[in-house]
Amino acid sequence: MKRSRVASVVALTLVAGLSLSLAGCTDTPAPEPTPTPLSTISAEALLKAAETTILDQAIAYPSADPAQVSSTILTVPPGVATGWHFHSTPMYAYILEGTLTVTYDVDGVSQEKVYRAGDALIEAVGTHHNGVNNTDSPVRVLVVNMGAAGVANTTLVP
């Protein structure tokens, strides 16, 4: 008899505990998070209202075809070059890490520029150039192409 009373008390305790647990599981939505004041959000300008490329060319968008924007992260291993190439449309680049040395062929004259982590630029349009990672660490570059349908973002120079 004592065992059945103990079993009954245990069973009632479990049922009561389960009922209390389930009482907290209602369809009441969780409280909305408190909005963060805009004053706590910071913004760091990387490139502000650029009107020209790194070689002082006016930025011009292709107008014959529908616009397309694409982005990639380019990783250049140590000792590797991009190969000579050019861009037919505007391209924004932000150096995420490392150092990239770029040589531009401007009317047969070489111009060299060195870009380091934190640098932002609008790349030259229509100008042959070659980037080289002369360091012992990879270079990572965020590339945003502002191109057009049917127009190659990058064209390799044979």
Contact 87, 151 (CB under 8 A): no
Return the number of other C-beta atoms located less than 10 Å from residue 32's C-beta: 6
Q: Show the domains of the chain with their CATH numbers.
A: 67-156 (2.60.120.10)
| pLDDT per residue rounded down to tens, the chain (158 residues) | 444 443 443 343 434 444 444 445 556 677 777 676 777 777 788 888 888 999 999 888 778 788 999 999 999 999 999 999 999 999 999 999 999 999 999 999 999 999 999 999 999 999 999 999 999 999 999 999 999 999 999 999 98
Looking up tokens 């070059």 gives 81
**pTM of the shown model:** 0.72
DSSP state of 135: S
